[in-house]
Amino acid sequence: MPLEVSYSKQAANYLKNLDAPTKRRVLEKVAEVSADYMDPRNSKPLEGSEKRSARVGKYRILLLAVKEKNALIVAEIASRGQVYRET
């Protein structure tokens, strides 16, 4: 059963400002990850963090699963050069 997805304010704003084809690809990737969070083809763990990272072209999606609530939080969406600097 897929995890329930929610977006942080930053992720929602970034997603809103993406062009339509990229936004569609990001949403598709989030749906894939929510279906199987631990599948290494969908996301990879970040060292020293509970978050995972999914790749869509030059963009990275940082995700956090909350098992108790059966939820997936999209913490951040940004280009590769920006997303890892701030984390």
Per-residue pLDDT of the chain (87 residues; tens, 9 = 90+): 678 999 999 999 999 999 999 999 999 999 999 998 888 999 999 888 889 999 999 999 999 988 778 899 999 999 988 877 654
4-86 folds as: YaeB-like fold (3.30.2310)
The DSSP string of the chain is -PPEEEE-HHHHHHHHTS-HHHHHHHHHHHHHHHH-TT-TTT-EEPTTSS-EEEEETTEEEEEEEEGGGTEEEEEEEEEHHHHHHH-
Give the pLDDT of residue 86: 53
- Nearest Cα to 72, choosing from 82, 80, 62, 57? 62
